[in-house]
Amino acid sequence: MRKIRNDELGRKSLEDFRAAKKRPVVFVLDNIRSLSNIGSVFRTADAFLFQAIYLCGITAQPPHREIHKTALGAEESVEWKYFKTTSEALLELRSEGYILAGIEQAENQVRLDQFKPDANKKYAFIFGNEIQGVAQDVLNLCDLAIEIPQLGTKHSLNIAVCAGIIAWHYSYQSK
């Protein structure tokens, strides 16, 4: 087995990425504190050709050196928008026909393994603060909550990890 070189991967240029048809997915970051998490989410959205990222509340915005360290330039390729409150972002997304899905442990949640996204619909996946999770007022606006089942002693995953799991699941389950 031979490792494939970067120049053999056929990656899109920045211009090609911007011109490419995107998957109808927006990641919404609800008051995320960690700049590394924000950068990682940009990189994940780029990797899966997602529409945009909405940065809300205290979530930092590019350009920022610490975001760039983990985004590796994805903050230049992925469209993003800032909102003072997450509620404002969700109301805009709802008016554009997005299904609002909070990634959270909540009553009547859908386990990720039971979530079957419809490729003909648009989704906004909302990721909450590293300590508090998705705020209750934000969850109240969601159409559903999706839980990533976990078996260990911890009750949450890092939001960058969650975004990667959700992105992969959406990309390979939406048919």
pLDDT, residue 140, reads: 98
Q: Residue 126: is its pLDDT beyond 80?
A: yes
What residues contact residue 147 under an 8 Å CB cut-off, 6+ apart?
Answer: 103, 104, 105, 106, 109, 110, 111, 112
CATH superfamily label, 20-173: SPOUT methyltransferase, trefoil knot domain (3.40.1280.10)
- Cβ neighbours, 10 Å, residue 77: 20
Q: What is the DSSP letter of 129?
A: B
- pTM (2 d.p.): 0.96
Q: Residue 21: is its pLDDT beyond 80?
A: yes
pLDDT, residue 75, reads: 97
In the chain, % of residues over pLDDT 90:
96
Give the residue-averaged pLDDT of 106-112: 97
Give the residue-averaged pLDDT of 20-42: 98
Domain extents in the chain: 20-173
CA 104 from centre of chain: 13
Q: Residue 174: is its pLDDT beyond 90?
A: no
pLDDT, residue 155, reads: 85
pLDDT, residue 122, reads: 98
pLDDT, residue 88, reads: 98
The model's pLDDT over 157-170, given as tens digits with 9 standing for 90+, comes to 999 999 999 999 99
